[in-house]
Structure 1
């Protein structure tokens, strides 16, 4: 199989991160049940996709050590989500898996198929356990539950796609700065207005990078009236060439044709900086960027749910806490569950949201005193919370690299960046994806 640039990069990352797994001895290398002198030692891998999470987690782990001296946690910062997956896979191969890790929830099917993770169900037997599990928003739990009803992840740093707009540009262009575009027609009109009336180089950025194009595409499919989830719960049936799928891609491509958006790649990693620099008047990206924009914006800005069409909503994203098997004892898993409960209290969920921009994962977190004070000072933070009501599951399949990065993303980019025919590109992608998933049914 020919490797995509992304796959080659991940292979290189795996080699670079081998040292993480090799020197990690708390879970897999300690032998026995991971306990010594009454203290259970575990490894905990955590990524940082937005640049603020690692510092927060370091602080939480120090607090956990004070409250739970019977559990020794070795926290391992593991890069972004893809780097974390590479590090975890290396550790699994060495039978030194972390007891707990924050993983992109869309990795679930591959990890389950590999028998690398442990379901949470055996640790959710008491009323208190079930109440804890049920406290999380069902929109976030939807990606965590398999077709067999097994729970494979507990929401931690979760997100959705939202719309940011430059209120100063809107005001200068004669638009109502408090009224973001609520539909596709308004989106196009407002994007044109900030270009012609406010001097923005571009009206709208919707990132087209390989790693995230599918995520933005899901939102457009949902708005076009289709099934934005694209994949079924088992992940083995994917639909990318329905009439609504084609309509969504045609609309996305039309933004470049109308010169509202670039026909060159809009990079995920730099699009927020472009918005902050005033390069674009409107940006679609993760709610997890609120903290950064809040800190750095030199202009008045707003954030809202994405525009609606025949449908509304956007996919969820972000990371969930997963339990691992390879070299991890029952006592270590129990210790990992204790850590997970500690990390997901309403107070800490609120703190993660306030300081990073991720969406607090339960209603209890939104009702904390700290969150109420934050919303009073920064009302923009409420928009992602409101968007959760219409959130849909993120696309998740087995063999994710081939389905998403090597097939769907290139098909989308062939249309957006090279002018290919949307229907032909999606029909070809559908055929190729069906062939990949056939072996997993």
Structure 2
């Protein structure tokens, strides 16, 4: 009998311990006393040891917050990460937080997936970020994400190649006409060296948006419900993009892969390139030549869209996890960490205070190219972002590429893009 009573007592104790434990699938139950476990999805879209850097940031945070553990989950590209996050949300297994494209905002809002961060931070906290990065964080007056690994497009140029071509290595092309002229001098007839490469896969919409901002207004409304793809200044911009390869012969015609453009530049196959500042550290570490970084050349004005990823917190998680996620965001966006992230990756420091740190001040003093993307923010605007953004962007990308490979005119590509995108967005315009 004593043995039976003892067994009953042990069994009761086990049942009690289980019922009081973590019952939230490893996330730390709301109101529980155990450690909070944050699932943190992130992508890698540029060269460099991003995974290692994220893992180290998670460990550093855990040392300061013993009751919170962060589980970084590498999701692949931005698109792959978004697909995995959307699948998890739809399966009622939402992650706690993620780095996703700033342009995924309206898609996430339509899924009712993300937490409104407006009441979670002070206004002075948001005021610390550069204005150009805040556009893609908001819908109306509500802030839904925090800038993290942000970028603009910049012009990289090989100063050694400039010298060989008789060009001033300290003077990048400042206008479209100068870009054409310089690229012509830098192109070799045997195809061994191109004057300029502008990617035409993955993010060709981003490249065209930059050219369009240099020629006129932005290509979408700020509520995610309307696009302006068929405006005359967009057609002028697409025609310029096409002509560099098809008419001027200073750029490969047809498809130019996003991922291979930096490699072509580093190997000397391309003397200039348009690419994200997120590859600045890769170029700095791997280029065996003297290179420069400059604003994108102007048409009527300077211009570049912002780009990159923001930090999102998800709605359908325990309050304890939301509070822990906010702590992690505060940790990641402290000036010293923003500064170091910029140095380690090439992404723009997202806060004004980051450029006041000794680390980034010294880095910019030693490597002035690191300040170019920040200075270009004065002329930057929000990246293309709409409801059903994946569909709209794919349509735009496909039609731009058709124009670049010569199967459509600029006018046809943009008219088709406008018609198709308007059809998708019509359902949101009455809301």
Q: 1:27 to 1:277 in 2, by over 3 A?
A: farther
Deviations 1:407-427 (A, max 9, x none): 211211111112522112211
Deviation at 1:73, TM superposition (A): 1.7
- Aligned twin of 1:303: 293
- Aligned twin of 1:329: 318
Q: 1:76 to 1:293 in 2, by over 3 A?
A: same
Q: 2:187 is paired with a residue of what secondary structure?
A: helix
Q: How do 1:34-433 and structure 2 match up within 5 A?
A: 34=30, 36-50=32-46, 51-124=48-121, 129-146=122-139, 148-196=140-188, 201-209=193-201, 211-224=202-215, 226-227=216-217, 229-256=218-245, 257-326=247-316, 328-405=317-394, 407-433=395-421
Q: 2:79 is paired with a residue of what secondary structure?
A: helix
Q: 1:419 to 1:204 in 2, by over 3 A?
A: farther
Q: 1:203 to 1:62 in 2, by over 3 A?
A: same
Q: Which has the larger radius of gyration?
A: 2
- In structure 1, C-alpha distance between the alignment counterparts of 2:252 and 2:350, rounded to whole Å: 34
Contact 1:142 1:393 in 2 (8 A): yes
Q: 1:322 to 1:306 in 2, by over 3 A?
A: same
- In structure 2, C-alpha distance between the alignment counterparts of 1:73 and 1:414, rounded to whole Å: 43
- In structure 1, C-alpha distance between the alignment counterparts of 2:65 and 2:31, rounded to whole Å: 14
Deviations 1:214-246 (A, max 9, x none): 00000011112x22x311111111001111011
- In structure 2, C-alpha distance between the alignment counterparts of 1:307 and 1:69, rounded to whole Å: 49
- Aligned twin of 1:11: none
Structure 1 spans left out of the alignment, 5+ residues:
1-25
Q: 1:44 is paired with a residue of what secondary structure?
A: strand
Deviations 1:296-331 (A, max 9, x none): 0011100011001112110000110001123x0111
Q: 1:87 is paired with a residue of what secondary structure?
A: helix
- In structure 2, C-alpha distance between the alignment counterparts of 1:354 and 1:163, rounded to whole Å: 19
- In structure 1, C-alpha distance between the alignment counterparts of 2:367 and 2:93, rounded to whole Å: 43
Deviation at 1:268, TM superposition (A): 0.3
Deviation at 1:37, TM superposition (A): 3.2
Structure 2 spans left out of the alignment, 5+ residues:
1-21
Contact 2:188 2:194 in 1 (8 A): no
- In structure 1, C-alpha distance between the alignment counterparts of 2:319 and 2:400, rounded to whole Å: 44
RMSD: 1.8
Q: 2:155 is paired with a residue of what secondary structure?
A: strand
- In structure 1, C-alpha distance between the alignment counterparts of 2:386 and 2:23, rounded to whole Å: 28
Contact 1:194 1:200 in 2 (8 A): no
